[in-house]
Amino acid sequence: MLLQLSAAFDLHRDVVPWLVERLAAEAAAPVAGLRAGLDPVENNYEALRVVNIERNGKVIYSCKDNKKNVFFGLYDLHTKKNEHLYTFEKDLQVASCSINHEKTLLAVSFLQSDKERRNELQPVSKCLTLLIEIHPVNNVKVLKAVDSCIWVQFLYPNDERKPFPESHLLLISEERYIEQFHIQVIREDENRVVIKNLDHLPRDRVVEDFLWAQWDMSEQRLYYIILKKSESILKCIQFYADENFNLIFEVPLDISLCATELMLVNFGFEDSQNQGGLSKDLNLHVFTSHTGSLCVCYHKKLAAQEQVTYSVFYLHKGYSKTFTVDLGTLEYLLSMKDITFLNLDYYVAVYLPGHFFHLLNTQHPDLMCHSLFLPGKNEQMNLIPDGPLQSLSGSLAWDWCSEKLFRVNFSQSSLLHFLWSSSLDYERLAVLHCVLACGRNPRVLEAQIIRWIFENIWSCHTFDPIQEFLIASSYWNFCLDINNLDQLFPYSSVHSWNREIPGVTSVTKEILLPLMKVQNSKGYWEKLNANLEYVKYAKPPLLYSNNMVKREWRNLISEEKRGKRRSTAYFKNIHENAIKVISNLETWTVEPRLVPLFQEEDNQQRLLIGLMVSELKDHLLRNLPVQFIGKKKIEQLVLDYVSKMLDLLCQMLETSWRKHNLHSWVFHFDGSGSAGEYAVFHTMTQILDSVNRMCLPLPPGFHTLHLALGIHCLPLHSLLHYIDDGVLLLTETGVMKLLKDLDNTEKNEKLKFSIVARLPPSIMQKISHIWDHPINSHIISRNYVKQLLQKSKRKFQSPAIDKSSFLVEFLPLNFLIEVLAEIETPHQALNPFEECDSVDAKFVEEAALKQTTMLLNL
């Protein structure tokens, strides 16, 4: 299963043994509180149930003994210990319960029945809400005695280390209002905490006339919806420890809410039989993540039909998506199970047990290929509980049926298994991102993905797995910690998707952005506001592209070929950027690398590395608030980002090296290639193609190593074809080693001549003295004459010779030498081979005579 559900709390596992042990102890020595006769084993736990889960991981539960006394206990998820809170020695039906952070006050709401009347004339309120001092057990105050149901919830301070002079309690009424009580406490002695001014507790009216409310226990937020001119308005209130509360935002939602409906989410775990007028047909949840995303998931049960429709409002993006799922079976018409929405940080899981499982990417929901859509019969759904789960804050989810509290995480092994087993591109693409976003131990994870890429590189038709891995891995590593950074870096190599996903259709609609009511907020609200500002003003999107780097890189290479040079300061800055990246990358290397890289200057790749660093840095400095982030932090981020891409490429080469047992490979040009070298050569060719199409830098030394493997593995005609098409690049280091390593056999001479004849002048002038051979002298002479004549402005009169009768390039020799000698004056001669001082007209004459002699077999 893609989701891993581990039981953090099981009522029967974690509570029942403790209750039984407590019973045995009290049977031997009865004490006040829980009396003998409470046997949860014999009564099948019918009266044992969870009533609330507090912010600090404490679970409140209640049960009844055979005398109908109500017992309240507390289980701590962190210490895994139980403790007794309070016991009512009468039969009461618990509606809601909450305890303050210091465990000194207990708020309880009971539903009363008509049987509790002492006489027929005495009125009995439907709901009784009590505030009880429990440290130690002392006073009881009635907060409400009304005919509508009341739910209670203590607020928890964000900083739990602060002292507790005051507690704050929310009362949520079925009559659609929410009040906040301010309860001051005093410590009378070392162990006695009591309520100050018990007879008069200050209170505020927080919300009125709401239809739906959700409590976020982790972040202390209250989301609620009101009707305004028949329009549903979502609002949010943030509660603070050092101040009262603030209305943070409001936004209209295109959802249909009936004025007679009422729904509460995460206000305890009341029995569904006692929900009274609460709506059972409305399924609405608000989910957030630490990156500043804000999603509203909405589903309304309709009459039985063969399709299910649900909507997700991506409020941080400014649009909503409505998904329609073909169920493909009539079982749903009979079961009418409810859809479950689970918050998984970067994702929202939406599923209907036995029918479908969807994993929606909330960071980048625009393309469906980045979300996962599984049909009901997929094996990945086998372990999902049949009953609905209630998503709580963090990674917790409550199972109503089993009364278990689960920690929900992604199963890394299942995600990787699914990546290997799926044959559909959109599933592979979605799972690849999910693995990178949610996986643990990234180094091991990246190695497993690389192995998958090498096995499936030819079977992906709609995306390049190498490109997607490089872009996505770099994104998930660096782009989520700083506001708007994920909006500036590329997320995927796939920019559009128009293919159908079987069984699922989606309609996208623009919506209004939330109106922020508070300025200069921090934490989550600052990130949400930054996302909203980006959506408002970033038209078109400000995603980084390597197009500028590509143009500049090609211009610099072209200028270098023409002998032009930019300013020294410009090249110095680019060179320093490249040095910083390579130095930064070396600090990440834990084990020695097997692949012989980084052993040469490789000016072109260093130039590309430095250019990418420079362009990325300028891109971020233009679009990020440098005064808040800092220029040094941005510079380090860019270095890490480019270093990460190079590191991933090195990992790919290392994986291929080990897979084909090239552990002890020695860099040389002699001999023929093995099967392993042939496989690695084609892997490097595929990497080169993927990287070149995005103009990403390669590790220095890549082209030299690629050339060496090509010479080993390819016949000469194929090798020259690869060189002429630009697949294999002739590097100075590679050619020099080739000329030194190979002797002058006929086969090697042919190879050397073919290589030297294709050298660019910038390399030719540096290595021409390495190979002392007439053929090399001929090539040097020809290139020298060509460049010398091109640079001379003198116009020569062509001799009256029938050129068609001469096939040898250097005849008539006398006239050529005379022309060269005339050009070679101290003022006119511009020797392109500055390191070869012996190249002159005399050298050309000797080389031409030798060449002529060889051609005529004299």
Taken as a whole, the chain contains a residue count of: 858
pLDDT mean over 383-410 = 84
Look at residue 613 in the predicted model and tell me its pLDDT: 95
Look at residue 857 in the predicted model and tell me its pLDDT: 61
The pLDDT of residue 498 is above 50: yes
Look at residue 687 in the predicted model and tell me its pLDDT: 96
For the ranges 209-223, 386-400, 840-854, the one whose mean pLDDT is highest: 209-223
Contact between 623 and 542 under an 8 Å Cβ cutoff? The reply is yes
Look at residue 233 in the predicted model and tell me its pLDDT: 96
Kindly state the percentage of the chain with pLDDT values over 70.
Answer: 81
The pLDDT of residue 275 is above 60: no
**Separation in Å, CA 260 to CA 39, 210, 212, 213, 804:** 42, 11, 11, 14, 102
704 against 852, higher pLDDT = 704
Look at residue 426 in the predicted model and tell me its pLDDT: 95
| Secondary structure element (H or E) that encloses residue 584, with its range | helix 568-588
Look at residue 135 in the predicted model and tell me its pLDDT: 82
pLDDT mean over 346-364 = 91
pLDDT mean over 694-707 = 93
Look at residue 272 in the predicted model and tell me its pLDDT: 45
CA 221 and chain centroid, separation:
25
How many angstroms separate the CA atoms of 362 and 438, rounded? 13
> Among residues 337, 379, 374, 378, which one has the least CA distance to residue 359?
374
Look at residue 126 in the predicted model and tell me its pLDDT: 86
The pLDDT of residue 464 is above 80: yes
pLDDT mean over 667-686 = 88
Look at residue 441 in the predicted model and tell me its pLDDT: 83
Look at residue 133 in the predicted model and tell me its pLDDT: 92
160 against 360, higher pLDDT = 360
pLDDT mean over 368-391 = 79
Half-sphere exposure of 738 (CA within 13 A, CB side): 26
Order of strands, edge to edge, in the sheet holding 356-361?
340-344, 347-352, 356-361, 372-375
Count the neighbouring beta carbons within 10 Å of the beta carbon of residue 682.
13
The pLDDT of residue 674 is above 70: yes
pLDDT in tens, 563-618: 677 778 888 899 999 999 999 998 887 778 888 888 787 888 999 999 999 999 99
pLDDT in tens, 292-332: 999 999 998 776 677 889 999 999 999 999 999 988 655 54
pLDDT in tens, 730-754: 988 888 888 888 887 888 888 888 8
The least confident of 272-276, 295-299, 463-467, 849-853 is 272-276
Helix (H), strand (E), coil (C) string for 613-637 = HHHHHHHHHHHCCHHHHCHHHHHHH
The pLDDT of residue 799 is above 60: no
The pLDDT of residue 172 is above 90: yes
The pLDDT of residue 116 is above 90: no
The pLDDT mean for the chain works out to: 83
Q: Is the dihedral of CA 404, 410, 415, 416 positive or negative?
A: negative
Question: Residues near 221 by Cβ (< 8 Å), separated by ≥ 6?
Answer: 215, 236, 237, 238, 239, 248
pTM for this prediction: 0.85
The full set of domain ranges for the chain reads 281-309+332-495
Look at residue 277 in the predicted model and tell me its pLDDT: 55
Look at residue 849 in the predicted model and tell me its pLDDT: 62
Task: Identify any residues that bridge with 398 across adjacent strands, giving them in sequence order.
Answer: 390, 405
pLDDT mean over 422-427 = 94
The pLDDT of residue 764 is above 60: yes
Look at residue 800 in the predicted model and tell me its pLDDT: 46
Give the largest CA-CA distance in the chain: 138
How many angstroms separate the CA atoms of 533 and 277, rounded? 40
493 against 748, higher pLDDT = 493
Binned at pLDDT 50, 70 and 90, residue 806 comes out as very low
The pLDDT of residue 834 is above 70: no
Look at residue 794 in the predicted model and tell me its pLDDT: 55
The pLDDT of residue 96 is above 70: yes
